[in-house]
Amino acid sequence: MKFDTPAGQNPIDQLRVVGKPTHRIDGPLKVTGTAPYAYEHHDVAPNAAYGFIVGAAIAKGRITSMDLKYAKAAPGVLAIVTAADAGPLGKGKFNTAKLLGGPEVDHYHQAIAIVVAETFEQARHAASLITVQYARAEGRFDLAAAKDDAGPSEPSATVGDFDQAYAAAPVKLDATYTTPDHSHAMMEPYATVAAWEGDQLTVWTSNQMIDWGRTDLATTLGIPAEKVRMVSPYIGGGFGGKLFLRSEAVMAALGARAAKRPVKVAMPRPFSINNTTHRPATIQLIRLGATPDGKITAFAHESWSGDQPGGGPEVAVQQSRLLYAGANRLIRTRLAVLDLPEGNAMRAPGEAPGMMALEIAMDEMAEKLGMDPVEFRIVNDTQVDPENPSRKFSQRQLVECLRQGAERFGWNRRNAKPGSVRDGRWLVGMGMAAAFRNNMNFTSGARVRLGDDGMVTVETDMTDIGTGSYTIIAQTAAEMMGVDLDRVVVRLGDSNFPVSSGSGGQFGANSSTSGVYAACVKLREAVAQRLGFNASEATFADGQVRSGNRSVALADAAKAGEIVAEDRMEWGDLEKTYQQSTFGAHFVEAAVDMATGETRIRRMLAVAAAGRILNPISARSQMIGAMTMGVGGALMEELAVDKRFGFFVNHDLAGYEVPVHADIPHLEVVFLDETDPIVSPMKAKGIGELGLCGVGAAVANAIYNATGVRVRDYPITLDKYLDRLPQMA
Amino acid sequence: MAIATTPQLDAAQPVPASPPPAMPVSLEVNGKRRQLEVDTRTTLLDVLRDHLHLTGTKKGCDHGQCGACTVIVNGERINSCLSLAVMHEGDRITTIEGLGTPDKLHPMQAAFVRHDGFQCGYCTPGQICSAVAVLDEIRAGVPSHVTASLTEAPQVTNAEMRERMSGNICRCGAYSNILEAMTEVAGDGA
């Protein structure tokens, strides 16, 4: 099915199941520990041996020698594989750096060997006995130092004449912001069980994008894709880190081939942060010019980031092309070459760090103009793409989000004068930011079966990384086939199933349910045909198929045998004709201890407009989860770069701090009532990343309002403002 | 850790491999007596996951930094990754599988489902084991960092629960919902 005209009325609009607050259907398995994650498939490979990966101890250079003899002689060792004996390996389309290094080393902790042994303890010990000699080479590890050598990258755009408009603007802001490298730090480590049967490889792994992973694993091993099966039914978080094939899957496959046994590998936590990908640091220059009434006349956002040779930029300017009006615009992206580990997508790539900077700049500009920050944003709203005014947004309720948020949060109680509200030893402030993230649709397929017991089974290689895919896919099939939720079985994350959108970029929910919609339309046709109904007239409800005055139980259609239908949703030009984006507003109240500088978040509210909300329970959880991650970005998250030796120093969960229970108060989320028929037959958009975009700046602005100290370098740790806090009375 | 090391080894050929040291240990896991012979380096966590196939207990960091491996030993919660199995001779161990099953959920498990106190589910067994033990700790009068008075019994407040749960990281960010689930269970049990 191709979606190339806006959706009319369709069975989803009945909203008997879709749109209803629905507890996760996989919930009972997850809360009892019975949902099997990657490393836990004992049943499929009961004789699996254990693999332990050895990582490079230098950031750049060459391995001059590896002495394996002690490791080989260690108890229980079955095989050791290095680049020297792995045979020729390719590189996956989605990988920048090689997943098995040697003799060249591209980054610190790049995998250089796997040791396979009978037990985990034996493999770990033997790995420690490998002696490696390196010839260390000079590397580039400092973004600020590499900034002037950074080359042009995309996106870039110019509209009107920024320089002239900026020079002429009566009110101006010129400020530079920085965001550090971030780690996904998902709770489940990267893990894979690999088993060969002849030339056929099966990997039970933890991967957001089954088809990408399967294809890249085949490419890396130099075998046809159909020789690889990838299975990933439960994923303990990804946040973009598991979008791509990673080294543990490749090393498990190589280890299993060498040991002639299934091999299981989980990356040790302190290894994964430098071995895998991260969100790259940015330096962002924002210049705004406005007239005294607050209309932006000149808008420039330029961003610098770095990556491995052949890598890509952090597209932090993305939202700045679309979020606010302004006739004269300049958008620039610069990319430096760095020899740090590979930079890549992390939750809301682009907008997450971009909004952290832009929405502080908007706060600063509002203050210069003497305007309320909510009002300043409303004044600069645009209903069309500022770079192409003939192009409208499919839906854009930013202003409504801002107004409702301000009303619900009690924004009118904010004192605009910074540092002027006290509560005992606490300086208290309120801050806000807009939320913005583009919507994307990916081709997504599904197979739907109607069994002779009347059960509807959905099969797709879609993944559930905590987002709630199992549940919204079940809701979609139940709505389409007119059955209760308990009559639907959902099977995900297996490359034997039709290729789906996968999970990432907040495209998963809308794309994958649209694919299920398409397959269900086909199944409805097949059912109608089997029952002798006219498919266009048949209705499906309450387990019955009705047409005219005839009514037959749905299950009866499959009495003569299971009915199977498969289709995929493809997308036409509507995302070119219309700009499809999601909007919101974040409000934060923060308190800063006058004496110690400690920051506490007191209240948070997000108002979001993202099309139809398929399941308000899991959608709200996506929002509060993103807001929590946003607090991390604002207050604590930073991969500290060792600029001499080129690695992230704080590469574990003690050193890389993320929010814990004590950091997060009760979080409020409001969804605006919205359907977006231009986007899909589900009339839904992504929600998983919107909640992260802007929230860090809302925290930063609240701290500024509390203290009067503006910090432009994230994270806003107390060492950056303690000496500037107001004098204690 | 998996970095390549440069151990100061004799240049001579390696000595022949000797089998790893093993010891018997007897544990009571979820009410069942389990007699095992384990490598002395094996953690309680790996015994549960890889020897007994009780994979509900999760390995998130293996370094006591995340709480995903939390189990209840003799009535108190511990990080099972920081504890060697042979240290637990005769101990009573309750894992997530011992609290409830999909058909017969423990009240805390049911509350987590009702309040959507999880997303990816990987930290969830540890959160639930901790949550159950935290309420017991407060009832037993064990003070925490935020308890104002050491002479008065701590109360089940948001601040007490958040403080005591802070060793259990949830990167999906379900904290707000987990607190609601715990509050509901604490209220029911009061």
Nearest residue, CB atoms, A35 vs list B5, B46, B121: B121
Q: How many CB atoms lie within 10 A of CB A433?
A: 32
Distance CA A499, CA A709 (A): 51
Which residue of chain B is at minimal alpha-carbon distance from A131? Answer: B6
Residues of chain A in contact with residue B4, where contact means CB-CB under 8 angstroms, are 54-57, 112-113, 130-132
Residues of chain A in contact with residue B165, where contact means CB-CB under 8 angstroms, are 660-662
- With 60 as the cut, is the pLDDT of residue B2 above it? no
Classify each residue of A675-705 as buried b or exposed e, where b means 16 or more C-beta atoms within 10 Å of its C-beta: bbbbbbbbbbbbbbbbbbbbbbbbbbbbbbb
Give span(s): CATH 3.30.365.10, chain A.
2-35+441-572, 42-138+185-275, 384-439+580-724
Q: Per the CB < 8 Å rule, is B58 touching A42?
A: no
Nearest to A255 by CA among A47, A82, A120, A76: A82
Q: What is the CATH number of domain A384-439+580-724?
A: 3.30.365.10
Nearest residue, CB atoms, A236 vs list B4, B19, B120: B120
| CATH of A42-138+185-275 given 3.40.50.720, 3.30.365.10, 3.20.20.70, 3.30.300.30 | 3.30.365.10
Q: Per the CB < 8 Å rule, is B173 touching A270?
A: no
Which residue of chain A is at minimal alpha-carbon distance from B169? Answer: A660
Residues of chain A in contact with residue B124, where contact means CB-CB under 8 angstroms, are 30-31, 33
Which residue of chain A is at minimal alpha-carbon distance from B46? Answer: A120
Q: Per the CB < 8 Å rule, is B176 touching A188?
A: no
Nearest residue, CB atoms, A621 vs list B119, B123, B167: B119
Nearest residue, CB atoms, A30 vs list B97, B118, B158: B118
Mean pLDDT of A230-234: 98
Q: Per the CB < 8 Å rule, is B5 touching A664?
A: no
Residues of chain B in contact with residue A629, where contact means CB-CB under 8 angstroms, are 171, 173
In this prediction, residue B54 carries a pLDDT of 98
In this prediction, residue B1 carries a pLDDT of 39
Distance CA A379, CA A126 (A): 65
**Model confidence pLDDT, tens digit, residues B25-55:** 999 999 999 999 999 999 999 999 999 999 9
Nearest residue, CB atoms, B65 vs list A76, A122, A654: A654
- With 80 as the cut, is the pLDDT of residue A433 above it? yes
In this prediction, residue A68 carries a pLDDT of 98
Residues of chain A in contact with residue B122, where contact means CB-CB under 8 angstroms, are 37, 186-188, 236-237
Q: Per the CB < 8 Å rule, is A187 touching B168?
A: no
The mean predicted confidence, pLDDT, of chain A is 97
Classify each residue of A388-417 as buried b or exposed e, where b means 16 or more C-beta atoms within 10 Å of its C-beta: eeeebbbbbbbbbbbbbbbeebebeebeee
Q: Per the CB < 8 Å rule, is A129 touching B9?
A: yes
Q: Provide the CA A415 distance to its chain's centre, in angstroms.
A: 35
Which residue of chain B is at minimal alpha-carbon distance from A49? Answer: B50
Q: Per the CB < 8 Å rule, is A128 touching B42?
A: no
Beta-carbon contacts below 8 Å between A and B: 267
In this prediction, residue B17 carries a pLDDT of 66
Q: Per the CB < 8 Å rule, is B122 touching A236?
A: yes
Residues of chain A in contact with residue B14, where contact means CB-CB under 8 angstroms, are 69-70, 72-74
Q: Per the CB < 8 Å rule, is A188 touching B2?
A: no
Distance CA A5, CA A266 (A): 46
In this prediction, residue B13 carries a pLDDT of 65
β-pair type (A599-609, A228-231): unpaired
- With 70 as the cut, is the pLDDT of residue B10 above it? no
**Model confidence pLDDT, tens digit, residues A563-590:** 999 999 999 999 999 999 999 999 999 9
Answer yes or no: is the ipTM higher than 0.85.
yes
**Model confidence pLDDT, tens digit, residues A278-332:** 999 999 999 999 999 999 999 999 999 999 999 999 999 999 999 999 999 999 9
Which segments of A308-378 are extended strands (E)?
A: 328-337
Mean pLDDT of A242-250: 98
Q: Per the CB < 8 Å rule, is A128 touching B7?
A: yes
DSSP A454: S
| Residue A556 vs residues A139, A323, A452, A455, A559: alpha-carbon distances, Å | 68, 53, 7, 11, 5
What values do phi and psi take at B138, rounded to 5?
A: -65, -45
Nearest residue, CB atoms, A74 vs list B17, B61, B169: B17
pLDDT band at residue B189 under the 50/70/90 scheme: low
Residues of chain B in contact with residue A74, where contact means CB-CB under 8 angstroms, are 14, 17
Nearest residue, CB atoms, B116 vs list A37, A235, A618: A618
**Model confidence pLDDT, tens digit, residues A114-152:** 999 999 999 999 999 999 999 999 999 999 999 999 999
Angle at A667 between CA A665 and CA A668, to 5 degrees: 150
In this prediction, residue B4 carries a pLDDT of 47
In this prediction, residue A438 carries a pLDDT of 96
Q: Quote the tokens at residue A697.
A: 């700046």
Mean pLDDT of A390-400: 98
**Model confidence pLDDT, tens digit, residues A532-572:** 999 889 999 999 999 999 999 999 999 999 999 999 999 99
In this prediction, residue B19 carries a pLDDT of 73
Residues of chain B in contact with residue A130, where contact means CB-CB under 8 angstroms, are 4-5
Q: Per the CB < 8 Å rule, is A659 touching B55?
A: no
In percent, how much of chain A has pLDDT > 70?
100
In percent, how much of chain B has pLDDT > 70?
90
Mean pLDDT of A45-62: 97
Domains of chain B: 23-98 (3.10.20.30), 107-189 (1.10.150.120)
**Model confidence pLDDT, tens digit, residues B86-135:** 999 999 999 999 999 999 999 999 999 999 999 999 999 999 999 999 99
**Model confidence pLDDT, tens digit, residues A679-706:** 999 999 999 999 999 999 999 999 999 9
Residues of chain A in contact with residue B7, where contact means CB-CB under 8 angstroms, are 70, 128-129, 131
**Model confidence pLDDT, tens digit, residues B161-170:** 999 999 999 9
**Model confidence pLDDT, tens digit, residues A161-200:** 999 999 999 999 999 999 999 999 999 999 999 999 999 9
In DSSP terms, A459 is beta-bridged to A447, A491
Q: Per the CB < 8 Å rule, is A30 touching B13?
A: no
Q: Quote the tokens at residue A340.
A: 């740090």
Best of A187, A239, A274, A464 to disrupt the B interface by mutation (most B CBs within 10 Å)? A187
Q: What is the DSSP string of A567-580?
A: EEEEE-SHHHHSB-
Q: Per the CB < 8 Å rule, is B63 touching A667?
A: no
In this prediction, residue A449 carries a pLDDT of 98
Which residue of chain A is at minimal alpha-carbon distance from B39? Answer: A121
Q: Per the CB < 8 Å rule, is B173 touching A127?
A: no
Nearest residue, CB atoms, A667 vs list B39, B109, B176: B176
Which residue of chain A is at minimal alpha-carbon distance from B180? Answer: A666
Angle between helices A616-635 and A695-707 (to 10 degrees): 50
| CATH of A2-35+441-572 given 3.30.930.10, 3.30.365.10, 3.90.1150.10, 3.10.20.440 | 3.30.365.10
Which residue of chain B is at minimal alpha-carbon distance from A668? Answer: B176
In this prediction, residue B18 carries a pLDDT of 73
Helix residue ranges per DSSP H, A137-288: 143-146, 162-168, 210-221, 247-259, 269-275
Distance CA A124, CA A492 (A): 33
Best of B169, B175, B177 to disrupt the A interface by mutation (most A CBs within 10 Å)? B175
Q: Quote the tokens at residue A453.
A: 């017991």
Which residues of A participate in catalysis according to the annotation?
A: 689
What is the SS3 string spanning B98-126?
HHCECCECCHHHHHHHHCCCCCCCCCHHH
Q: What is the DSSP string of A648-700?
A: ES--STTTS----GGG---EEEEE-----TTT-TT-B---TTGGGTTHHHHHH
Residues of chain A in contact with residue B103, where contact means CB-CB under 8 angstroms, are 28
| Residue A303 vs residues A150, A280, A349, A634, B124: alpha-carbon distances, Å | 10, 12, 13, 19, 38
In this prediction, residue B190 carries a pLDDT of 44
